[in-house]
Structure 1
Amino acid sequence: WRDLNCDQIYALLDRTFTSPGQAVLYTILKNPCCNRETLLRRSKLIKAFQKDVNFREKLQLVFLPLERVSDNDMATLLWGGLPSPSPYAPLYTILAVAALISLFTPLFLGKYSVLLITGMFSVNSLVHYKLSKKYEYMLPAISGLAVLLRVASKVTGLNRPVIHDHCQQLRKASLLCRPISRNTAYLQPKLTTSDLDILYEYLKLFFLLEVRAFYAILSEFGKQVEQLQRIYLIIGELDALQSIASYRESLPMSGYVEPELIAGGNAFYAVENARHPLLKDAVANSILINKEGVLVTGSNMSGKSTFLRTVGVNAIFAQTIFTCLASSYRGSFFRVVTSISREDSLMEGKSFYYQEAERLLKLIQTAAREDTEAPALCIIDELLSGTNYTERFAASQGILSYLAYKNARVLAATHDLDLAEKLQGLYRCYHFTDQVGRDGLKFDFKLKEGIASTRNAIKLLEYLQYPGEIVQQANTIAGQYTLNLRDLEKS
């Protein structure tokens, strides 16, 4: 997730109006789908929202009341659960009935009835304040459920064929949840702006309206929690997919394509003119990854890591929002696994190399799994860069050779040009180029066939105005090292 900058990508895609929509959109992106029917159903809704802008805007207006509801509260309530119903719930009804009866005592007790009414008010007020401390933290979430149920009712009134199945499910679930809707009215926060509101607050205490409503909801919640979850997810899905429709509409003409996903057969990944969603003027590149993996070489800042992320993000988009930033996307269903971002873990006492070795092991274990139909798409940037050259070269060659024979398709980037030469036959080689001159660094960010023939690390030091002695000595050592390697190869 972090390797592919998915938090920033999620923020870019998020044009939702509800907290369920945000949660469902996040869940969709986190869980690439290998079911073609699910993806085609999403695509149908997205295209319907694109085509009928008036319908999309009406739906957005219906969703607006949910914008102010905290998703954490609602989701915790629906999937975390409420406490068990109180065995004393019938007693609270008895106290409310007793309070009602006390109002008629002046007919036969006269002035002494004041003591009885006052006593009942005091007892019920005490019960209210004692119990409310136990459940008041749940009231915002329950109020949110009330808003959710009202929104669901309004969605069913839009009467559009494309959401007919969604509306049918919402009607059925809302009908079963009607007792909850009725009781939530007593749990809504009220602003005391009039005498009637003040009177209501006294009646709420006297007849334990809020307490009885809460425990009534508690009883119904256990019976209908699955229906409430279904409503949440349906509203969330509609909002998430209209968000993707809005995102598609924000792209330039021919800025995206729907993928052609193929199940079975020899796994492959083929994309033409792919771009990264976070780059405004991204340079498009094409690639085919099949049984023969792809190894990308190139100097610093030439575009290797961005290209790897572009491939990964478009694979995720294909199997989540059915939208690829490319002119063509064809490929298999994949489990995308990456090793791109690396850092030390000071708190765990793990080095840069150790962290990377752990990540690569998880990637290798995922690729080696044979109990799944979807192969792994392994995207690796600079294998084992935190250790010495000799061991890095040997281990990298071993890892990439191992992955080439597993249930995986591999895209890797490296600075080690001799590694690319050693793996020819298992991996096709591509590269990015650069120029470093007086005017600074120049890159075209275009992927080219073959192994990189230029390096820029020392040129970059010179451009940054390192002391001349350092640059000169580095060039001398590098030149001698290259000659030694050539002599070694000849021998």
Structure 2
Amino acid sequence: MIRSAFARLFDLDSEPPEHFFTTVEIGRLQSVTHDPRRALDEQTWRDLLLETYEERLAQGSSIYGRQLLHRRLRDGLDDADCAALGERLRALADDPARLDALTTALRPLRHAGLEVAGLLFEDTLPPRPAWAYFTWVLPFLLLVSLGLLATQPLGWLATIAALAPLMALQISYHRRLEMWKNTLDSLNALLSASGKLALLGGPLLDPFVAMQRETTRLHKRLARSLLLRAIPLAEPYLNWFGAYNVGRYWKTIRSVETARGFLRTLYLEAATLEADVALARHLRERGGWCWAERGPARRLVLEEGTHPLMDKPSALSVTLDGRGAFISGQNASGKSTFLRMVGLNLVAARAFGFCYAKSARLPAVPVRASMQNEDSLLGGESLYMSELRRARELLQADVAGVCLIDEVFRGTNHLESVSAAGAVLERLSRRDLVLVSSHNLVLARILAAEFDPLRIDTGSGRPVLAPGVLRDPNGIALLATQGFGPEIEGRAAEVARWLSAHLAEQASATDA
């Protein structure tokens, strides 16, 4: 009997609609609860393609689970929380029947069409005005005016006078009533899922069982009455001629304000569980991952790491211990992809405790990237100014981390590019573990004291990360493959030989 009562109350069987949420809405929980010292910044988020990765993880999840996954990706987890998450994911991944049952029980969350993290953690609800306590007077006056209309010649004046404030309320409150209705729908979706989880019971669900009584009580206060749901046309009449929706608006606002602490707890429990279920499904559906050990801030070991967004990724291994890495390689050899692979695995290990590799020992520190700097016509910022701004942001960061920099300072001439890059990278490497890729191979010599030279070798048909600096660039050779013709190719090779000899003479003179 109790189970059937919950089923009726929580309306569990309807098909969840598809809702679209903006990046701002998905990031709302993180934005109101984050630690700025640990959070990934916007450029790193874009450069590492983390929005696409997040979409892959969150498939089939509601806004609640998506917001929790987003916060974990942006802020990471400390050692204790990461270890606890690992235990939960192992238990879920090893029990597919339980995983399916939880997925079904969490289904009501997907009815939420509005995010409520801002409401629960940040927003201030409006106080109830004094006149709102007397809205019951308006329909009473309308009934009296209808009596006058039937008995007095000028009774219609009284009816108009009684209808005017009712109409004015509906017009002035229309927008906020619609927004609040969507908010209540999202809160009721949360309460519905929590009630279903309490009925399911078992591992991980004790908090929902403990909150079951309060969940039911609050749901009854926030949900529309069964009578009005049974008679759909009754509610519009009650709204227009009885101000029912205005009275319910202020009543439910007070209920939410009173229960805000409880709703926060319920929100975090449900969002955490849904995020865990999404991650467990992800791990069951794909291979090529491992549990990542946590290591010192300047030590990085990644064995056969891959990028989870690539259909057929090439596995690369890298080990760094205190020193940065200068990455060289021919055009289209995969330097940028390698940096993104390392960055995404660092982020995943810090956020979830696993990464996409055969084995890994990674630092749980903030990751900062500089890979897609561009000139901005609207912003009035050239490419080089954009690169300088980003370099300054990296240098001014509060805590040590891992920096991933692709083609540093390509927006100015070769000489000044190398000079500026050398100075910035030397300074940055004093605090951070830095991985930088560049076609300016002379940088490897300048940075030899702080950076290990590594090259991506594709000679065997698949990329391999090997020690040393690229010896045979292919920029000029690619002219022939792209149809530029022998005249341009020959002239380019001639200029390249002259420049190489000229720079070598300058280097000899400087050494002397």
Scaled to the shorter chain, the TM-score interval is 0.7 to 0.9
**Distance in 1 separating the partners of 2:285 and 2:175:** 47
**Distance in 2 separating the partners of 1:160 and 1:327:** 33
**Distance in 2 separating the partners of 1:275 and 1:43:** 21
**Residue type of the partner of 1:447?**
L
Aligned pair in 2 of structure 1 residues 150, 121: CA closer, same or farther (>3 Å)?
farther
Shift of 1:77: 4.0
- Contact in 2 for aligned 1:268/1:290 (Cα 8 Å): yes
**Distance in 2 separating the partners of 1:384 and 1:137:** 51
**Distance in 1 separating the partners of 2:453 and 2:54:** 32
Aligned pair in 2 of structure 1 residues 7, 197: CA closer, same or farther (>3 Å)?
closer
Q: Kindly provide the CA deviation profile for residues 80-112 of structure 1, in whole angstroms up to 9, marking residues without a partner as x.
A: 344321221220244467789x79x99xx9x86
**Residue type of the partner of 2:448?**
Q
Could you tell me which residue of structure 1 aligns to residue 291 of structure 2? 258
Match of 1:409 among 433, 451, 465: 433
Q: Match of 1:273, SS? A: strand
- Contact in 1 for aligned 2:108/2:192 (Cα 8 Å): no
- TM-score of the superposed pair, with normalisation by structure 1: 0.85
- Contact in 2 for aligned 1:180/1:217 (Cα 8 Å): no
**Distance in 2 separating the partners of 1:452 and 1:19:** 47
Shift of 1:166: 5.5
More off after superposition, 321-330 vs 214-223? 214-223
What root-mean-square deviation, in Å, do the aligned CA atoms of Structure 1 and Structure 2 show? 3.2
Does residue 66 (structure 1) correspond to residue 109 (structure 2)? The answer is yes
**Residue type of the partner of 2:332?**
M
Aligned pair in 2 of structure 1 residues 273, 202: CA closer, same or farther (>3 Å)?
same
Aligned pair in 2 of structure 1 residues 422, 77: CA closer, same or farther (>3 Å)?
closer
Aligned pair in 2 of structure 1 residues 167, 30: CA closer, same or farther (>3 Å)?
farther
Q: Kindly provide the CA deviation profile for residues 466-487 of structure 1, in whole angstroms up to 9, marking residues without a partner as x.
A: 0321110110111122223334
Could you tell me which residue of structure 2 aligns to residue 473 of structure 1? 491
Structure 1 unmatched ranges of 5 or more: 436-441
Match of 1:241 among 257, 276, 281: 276
Could you tell me which residue of structure 2 aligns to residue 8 of structure 1? 52
Match of 2:215 among 165, 169, 174: 174
- Contact in 1 for aligned 2:222/2:252 (Cα 8 Å): yes
Q: Match of 1:466, SS? A: coil
Could you tell me which residue of structure 2 aligns to residue 460 of structure 1? 478
Could you tell me which residue of structure 2 aligns to residue 268 of structure 1? 299
Q: Match of 1:320, SS? A: helix
**Distance in 1 separating the partners of 2:466 and 2:440:** 17
**Distance in 1 separating the partners of 2:425 and 2:349:** 26
**Distance in 2 separating the partners of 1:43 and 1:392:** 44
Does residue 85 (structure 1) correspond to residue 128 (structure 2)? The answer is yes
Q: Match of 2:97, SS? A: helix
Could you tell me which residue of structure 2 aligns to residue 438 of structure 1? none
**Distance in 1 separating the partners of 2:227 and 2:390:** 49
- TM-score of the superposed pair, with normalisation by structure 2: 0.81
- Contact in 2 for aligned 1:261/1:331 (Cα 8 Å): yes
Aligned residue runs from structure 1 range 58-457, under 5 A: 58-72=101-115, 74-78=116-120, 79-95=122-138, 122=163, 125-126=166-167, 129-130=170-171, 132-133=173-174, 135-138=176-179, 139-165=181-207, 167-168=209-210, 170-171=211-212, 174=215, 178-179=217-218, 181-186=220-225, 196-199=231-234, 201-203=236-238, 205=240, 207-252=242-287, 255-262=288-295, 267-366=298-397, 369=398, 372=399, 375-406=400-431, 408-434=432-458, 444-457=462-475
**Distance in 2 separating the partners of 1:323 and 1:36:** 13
Aligned pair in 2 of structure 1 residues 490, 256: CA closer, same or farther (>3 Å)?
same
- Contact in 2 for aligned 1:430/1:449 (Cα 8 Å): yes
- Contact in 2 for aligned 1:20/1:71 (Cα 8 Å): no
- Contact in 1 for aligned 2:113/2:185 (Cα 8 Å): no
Shift of 1:234: 2.1
Q: Match of 1:378, SS? A: strand
Q: Kindly provide the CA deviation profile for residues 294-352 of structure 1, in whole angstroms up to 9, marking residues without a partner as x.
A: 11111211111111111110000001122200011113221111111121111111001
- Contact in 1 for aligned 2:166/2:242 (Cα 8 Å): no
Identity score, percent = 24
**Distance in 1 separating the partners of 2:342 and 2:226:** 50
More off after superposition, 210-219 vs 470-479? 210-219
- Contact in 2 for aligned 1:186/1:209 (Cα 8 Å): no
**Residue type of the partner of 1:256?**
W
**Residue type of the partner of 1:257?**
C
Q: Match of 1:447, SS? A: strand
Q: Kindly provide the CA deviation profile for residues 117-170 of structure 1, in whole angstroms up to 9, marking residues without a partner as x.
A: 9789847853663464253232122222122212211112221223324654x4
Could you tell me which residue of structure 1 aligns to residue 97 of structure 2? 54
Aligned pair in 2 of structure 1 residues 457, 205: CA closer, same or farther (>3 Å)?
same
Residue correspondences, number: 461
**Residue type of the partner of 1:449?**
P
Structure 2 unmatched ranges of 5 or more: 1-44
Shift of 1:63: 2.5
